[in-house]
Structure 1
Amino acid sequence: MENPGAWNNTAVQEFILEGFPTAQHLEKVLFLLHLLAYLASVMGNSLIITITWADRRLHTPMYFFLSTFSFCECSFITTVIPKLLTIFLLGKHTISFAGCFTQAFAFLFSGATIFFLLAVLSLDRYLAICKPLHYPTIMNPKMCVLLVTACFFLGFVLMVVPVVKLSQLCFCGPNVIPHFFCDFGPLANLSCSENRSIQTLFFNLVFFLLFTSFLMTVIAYSNIVITIVHLPSAKERQKAFSTCSSHLVVLSLMYGSCVFIYVKPKQRSRLDSNREAALVNTVMTPLLNPVIYTLRNKQVHRALRDALSRVKLQK
């Protein structure tokens, strides 16, 4: 992704991340809160990955997708939060030109992959609940690996082109990014080259990503709800609806914040409000996902208890 020739032709050698200038008096408190949220999110998602691969009972398509999802969540939050913590603690707002575009690509790539994985998770649940007899045949190990590979491939292809094109433009100043990380919109607004075509390309790619993954998710959950309604037991219906509603809360937060940030015209006029929406996307949802998708699950509880029992016996 590097293009040293393009970087040498620009006057800007580093950017300044503005962070949250209105909350400078709360930097130490914000540092502690974001550090705790980051550690909780990384530990929760790492626990899911570890327990999934350690317990043979969790070697199923759903947990394979969930462990991959957790890995992407860890990558997603790690691209942004450590730099934000250095801003809060050390006041170090600068980031190199190369580092800024690397962060932008890593953030967008992991985020795009997450949305495709959400669609795959919805498809997996649809097949398991609505087509239980065909599920083992369709979701075989080869198909699972293929679907995950496709998610990463699509995420990479969709995001690498606009980020590389943007990095090749001229940046002659100013170099202050009104955000707490290097995102596409704020970077595009700092370029002194004509970039309307690149912004249009990025808008169309993000719209395609969100629309296709959202459509797949809506279709899958609509069929799941129809199936749940016809369940004979009221207890089973209540349990299924409880699980679905939890999933839909997370999906609403993720899709809502991304639509607010990216799928709208006139990026420049709403950059300040983007920061709050981005915080929801980068801090809140990665923290909620382990709890809602996996840690409430009885199978995971059983696997955790067994793992703790084995540790105690070894001592």
Structure 2
Amino acid sequence: MIQLLTPTYWEDYELIDCGNFEKLERFGNIILIRPEPQAVWDKALSEAEWQKLHHIKFRGRSATAGDWLKKSPKTPDRWHIEYKNKDVAIKFRLGLTSFKHVGIFPEQAVNWDYISDNIRKFKTPSPKVLNLFAYTGGASLIAKAAGADTTHVDSIKQVVTWANENQEISGLKDIRWMVEDALKFVKREVKRGKTYNGIILDPPAYGNGPNGEKWKLEDNINEMIQDVIKLLDPEEHFLILNTYSLGFSSVIIENLIRNAFPQVQNLEIGELYLQATAGPKLPLGVFGKFFKNKGA
């Protein structure tokens, strides 16, 4: 069965409205207007309400970059928010980047809960978790806070530095940071005979490694999954594959996983979305995830 999942109550984040290729979001006490290519419908709230509510708006200069327009010069460029569930709490430093991002993908909170839930259920002491394409480290922080020996891999040094800052403000330590091409890292770990109890993948549609390696989701994801499966501890594990690509469906994710791992247990597939307070649902990626516990 294909599931639709959205984060439950999160005090520091709210999708207020979305439509006309934009979204109105609250991060802590800062409200932003950002582009959103999936929001092809009309806004639920009036334009006047959007203009009244927001503090900062992103204005694109090109397909990949732009500027932030503040209503008040006192509005900060950087600020902190917190995420907590029944098991753990973590903090993020947010910031205004030229690529419209602020350092967090809120829909991933659904996966963060899955990570902490499964780590808590593991009988393996200090289970090993690998976070690939790890960005600013939300999944890495959650895994570490839940008690995992955590390795964080991303090809961009600046975002790994950002993730380390998030580790510090979250009161955590000893996440293993790797600035490396994810596919190369996985292949090396396979050769070394390494295994992990948890693996998280959130690959981009396109990307580049630190040495110019090319990543294209539809060209490389099958090879990646075939190798990643070899790294899973056979007795106790979980895996999350999340993709944000207009051309990918959850059925594609299911086929990739079942082809690479025919004996998969407890497989869930579906779509992540954010529920706007004003009414619309904003789709933000498809996922496949599964787990196995000792004795299960």
Q: Aligning the two structures, in what range does the TM-score lie when normalised by the shorter sequence?
A: under 0.3
Q: Does 1 or 2 have the higher relative contact order (CA < 8 Å, sep 6+)?
A: 1
Task: State the TM-score, normalizing by the size of structure 1.
Answer: 0.24
Q: If each structure's strand is expressed as a fraction of its own residues, which one has the higher value?
A: 2
Q: If each structure's helix is expressed as a fraction of its own residues, which one has the higher value?
A: 1
Q: Rg bigger for which structure?
A: 1
Task: State the TM-score, normalizing by the size of structure 2.
Answer: 0.25
